[in-house]
């Protein structure tokens, strides 16, 4: 296992492409959140498992990786990096009945799935009582005005911890 973020960055980039994934600074924030949380992590939108890997490498907690469709490379990423704390969960993040099956306590809810207003707000509302940190990706991207709108609303209800790259990291007040 890598002993620091820089080692994780090299290992992860050797096995999975950075396509549609996080930048260096964003990955470092996920890695730090993984280090600090004492509760399970839920990732909505895993794709090839790259952001999953930054969270899972640094955390002793289970990382629930949620996607409606996992490409084959997801399994390769997790196996190549020997990440034993990743649980794959297949489902649609707009379905409340599905979201309710996720863990009762969530340290970090990382949202990078459907880039619309509902794609952010539906899981936030369903999981709100259980979460500590909410972390959004692609917040200030003009292609995703719904994500920006959802982020602006959440900023009114939560404490802003960090704005790094296109990530907004929020904590309940």
Ligand X SMILES: C[S@@+](CC[C@H](N)C(=O)[O-])C[C@H]1O[C@@H](n2cnc3c(N)ncnc32)[C@H](O)[C@@H]1O
Q: Which residues bind ligand X (CB under 6 A)?
A: 20-22, 45-48, 50-51, 67-69, 92-94, 112-114
Shortest CB 153 distance to ligand X, Å:
19
Shortest CB 105 distance to ligand X, Å:
21
Alpha carbon distance 110, 122 (integer Å): 14
Which residue, 64, 75, 74, 67, is CA-closest to 94?
67
Angstrom CA distances, 95 to 84, 109, 119, 133, 142, stand at: 27, 16, 10, 21, 26
Shortest CB 97 distance to ligand X, Å:
13
Shortest CB 50 distance to ligand X, Å:
4
Q: Are 76 and 20 in contact (CB under 8 A)?
A: no
**Residue 115 or residue 130: which is nearer to ligand X going by CB?**
115
**Residue 37 or residue 51: which is nearer to ligand X going by CB?**
51
**Residue 94 or residue 161: which is nearer to ligand X going by CB?**
94
Q: Which residues pair with 136 in a beta bridge?
A: 111, 168
């Amino acid at each position: 296992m890598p002993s620091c973020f820089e080692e994780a960055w090299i290992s992860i980039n050797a096995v999975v492409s950075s396509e549609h994934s996080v930048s260096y600074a964003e990955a470092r924030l996920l890695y730090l959140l993984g280090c600090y949380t004492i509760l399970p992590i839920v990732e909505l939108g895993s794709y090839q498992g790259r952001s999953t890997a930054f969270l899972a490498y640094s955390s002793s907690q289970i990382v629930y990786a949620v996607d409606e469709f996992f490409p084959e490379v997801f399994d390769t990423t997790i196996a190549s990096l020997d990440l034993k704390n990743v649980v794959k969960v297949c489902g649609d993040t707009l379905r409340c009945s599905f979201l309710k099956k996720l863990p009762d306590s969530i340290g970090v809810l990382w949202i990078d799935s459907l880039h619309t207003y509902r794609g952010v707000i539906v899981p936030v509302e369903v999981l709100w009582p259980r979460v500590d940190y909410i972390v959004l990706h692609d917040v200030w991207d003009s292609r995703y005005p719904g994500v920006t709108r959802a982020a602006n609303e959440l900023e009114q209800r939560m404490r802003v911890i960090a704005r790094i790259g296109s990530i907004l990291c929020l904590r309940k007040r």
